[in-house]
Amino acid sequence: MNHVRIAALLFLAAHAAHAQDPKVGLDDAFAELEPRVIAWRHDLHQHPELSNREFRTAGIVAEHMRKLGFDDVQTGVAHTGVVGTLVGGRPGPVIALRADMDGLPVREQTGAPFASRARGEYNGQDVPVMHACGHDTHVAILMGAAEILAGHRDRLAGTVKFIFQPAEEGPPAGENGGAKMMIEEGVLGGPNATEAIIVLHAWPVNTGTLTYRAGGFMAAADVLQIIVTGEQTHGSSPWLGVDPIYVAAQIATAIQGIPSRHLDVTNSPAVITIGSIHGGVRGNIIPDRVEMSGTIRTFDAGVREELHARLRKTVDAIAEANGATAEVIISGATPVTGNDPELLRKMLPTLAWAAGEANIGEGSVVMGAEDFSFFQGHIPGLFLHLGIYDPAIPRSERPANHSPFFIADDAALITGVRTLVGFALDYAAAGGD
């Protein structure tokens, strides 16, 4: 009788613990899952796909959620996106977990046994393809979170949308895509309107750490194009024409100095970069046209406006001084990505549980951009950097995102799974709206 009573008391105690903290007792489930998450990541890394062409990846994640018994699995969202819906065992809010799926036109040079040999078409060219920004880890982590939560529905208060997003790196020329298109197609609305969202991004900091900033964390990004028109002539007689290459060189040098020479970058960081210059076909012919493309990164709307104005004025002045003309096209703005301060405050204990108190902290602002910001324009969101490099590797020797040597440490993956699962289980209890 005493044994029966003890067993009953232990059961009631465990039930009470779960009611108070739905994460209690999940450690074994995470440990059992980890090898599968790693295997998924290796497979995805070996078979990357470019933006809006994530057909294989979408098929894998859709089938995974169907096998887990999800309540709904939508495919073909914003071309190749997948959205799975999991209804918990108890009533509660609707939240979303997001992972981006696309790779980059980069030739992998990591030497990993699961290195990519994939190829794809980019801007009409056959190119190598690589997961050089960690999107393979993002997908594998979200698949892992789906498995844990589907297996423990009774602990989940509310509904979770699993958003597998295409084209975070930008859709191909002439196409729409990415987060903005998913939102336009109603991914956040409908009968299950979403009230909060979280995303992790692999980052070259210590494995298993989580970093964040309240407010702006990653920059707004504008796409910059400058077309310089001159007058074609023979390379031996530049005075008989107008050399657009010479003009473009002056423009590229001048505009990249605008942030450092005309703006207080200690107050709000800003960057102008020219990443591509195309003009001419032969060394002894001065062409009539040069096209430059680049990016503008800012954190403040007023700074962004001033930067645009100074850039246009500088380009026009240099072109006019040399007898050329120049057209400036600024488009495709991605808003600032950051963290809703109140949501971050509420979820800090969850982050500490997921990674360990010593492994969470505030990070520095980053001039990179992320289209997760479009989701945050509609609902509160958390954007976290997940560390994916062995601490023994010096920071200076860690390849950056988009490098052909970029590679994530498998040991970081389970921290990512724990973070997403923790957010889903804790959000309602933390006082979600």
- pLDDT tens, residue by residue, 82-98: 999 999 999 999 999 99
* Position with higher pLDDT, 112 vs 431: 112
Domain check: are 41 and 146 in the same one?
yes
Is 243 exposed, middle or buried (CB count within 10 Å of its CB: 0-12, 13-18, 19+)? buried
Mean pLDDT value of segment 381-401: 96
CA 293 to chain centre: 22
User: Token pair for residue 356?
Assistant: 């360990």
Tell me how far apart the alpha carbons of residues 2 and 19 are, in angstroms, rounded to a whole number: 25
Domain check: are 145 and 259 in the same one?
no
pLDDT the model gives residue 432: 60
CA 238 to chain centre: 46
Element (H, E) at 251: helix 244-256
What CATH number corresponds to the domain at position 34? 3.40.630.10
pTM of the model: 0.90
Domain check: are 66 and 192 in the same one?
yes
Angle between helix 244-256 and helix 301-321 axes, rounded to 10 deg: 150
* Position with higher pLDDT, 188 vs 332: 188
Domain check: are 163 and 241 in the same one?
no
Residue 372 binned pLDDT confidence (cut-offs 50, 70, 90): very high
Residue-wise DSSP of 16-75: HHHHH-TTTT-HHHHHHHHHHHHHHHHHHHHS---TT--HHHHHHHHHHHHHTT-SEEEE
Beta strand residue intervals within 101-219, DSSP E: 119-122, 125-128, 157-165, 196-206, 210-212, 215-218
What CATH number corresponds to the domain at position 312? 3.30.70.360
Mean pLDDT value of segment 309-314: 98
- Judge whether 327 and 226 are in contact, CB under 8 Å: yes
Mean pLDDT value of segment 390-397: 93
Domain check: are 114 and 40 in the same one?
yes
Per-residue pLDDT at 2 exceeds 60: no
The one-letter code for the residue type at 129 is: V
In a domain, 432, yes or no: no
pLDDT the model gives residue 346: 97
Q: Express each pLDDT in 180-230 by its tens digit.
A: 999 999 999 988 899 999 999 999 999 999 999 999 999 999 999 999 999
In a domain, 17, yes or no: no
Domain check: are 265 and 404 in the same one?
no
Q: Give residue for tokens 């071309």.
A: 79
pLDDT the model gives residue 4: 41
Q: Give residue for tokens 């980069």.
A: 106
pLDDT the model gives residue 191: 81
- Judge whether 93 and 432 are in contact, CB under 8 Å: yes
User: Token pair for residue 10?
Assistant: 């232990």
pLDDT the model gives residue 300: 92
Residues of the domain holding 385 = 27-218+336-426
Percent of the chain whose predicted confidence (pLDDT) is above 90? 91
Task: Please give the tally of structural domains in the chain.
Answer: 2
Q: Give residue for tokens 């430059």.
A: 292
Domain check: are 53 and 123 in the same one?
yes
Is 397 exposed, middle or buried (CB count within 10 Å of its CB: 0-12, 13-18, 19+)? exposed
pLDDT the model gives residue 190: 82
User: Token pair for residue 243?
Assistant: 């050399």
pLDDT the model gives residue 433: 56
Tell me how far apart the alpha carbons of residues 165 and 184 are, in angstroms, rounded to a whole number: 13
Q: Which of 334, 360, 382 is the last residue of a domain?
A: 334
Q: Which of 334, 366, 400 is the last residue of a domain?
A: 334
Tell me how far apart the alpha carbons of residues 252 and 226 are, in angstroms, rounded to a whole number: 10
pLDDT the model gives residue 20: 82
Quick one: DSSP state of residue 299?
S
Paired residues of 224 in beta bridges: 294, 330
Residue 431 binned pLDDT confidence (cut-offs 50, 70, 90): low
Per-residue pLDDT at 301 exceeds 60: yes
Residue 266 binned pLDDT confidence (cut-offs 50, 70, 90): confident
pLDDT the model gives residue 430: 81
Mean pLDDT value of segment 289-312: 95
The one-letter code for the residue type at 347 is: M
Per-residue pLDDT at 419 exceeds 50: yes
Domain check: are 319 and 370 in the same one?
no
pLDDT the model gives residue 192: 83
pLDDT the model gives residue 292: 98
- Judge whether 289 and 279 are in contact, CB under 8 Å: yes
| Torsion angle of the four alpha carbons 108, 112, 114, 116, in this order, in degrees rounded to the nearest 10 | 10
Domain check: are 194 and 225 in the same one?
no
Residue 3 binned pLDDT confidence (cut-offs 50, 70, 90): very low
Residue 377 binned pLDDT confidence (cut-offs 50, 70, 90): very high
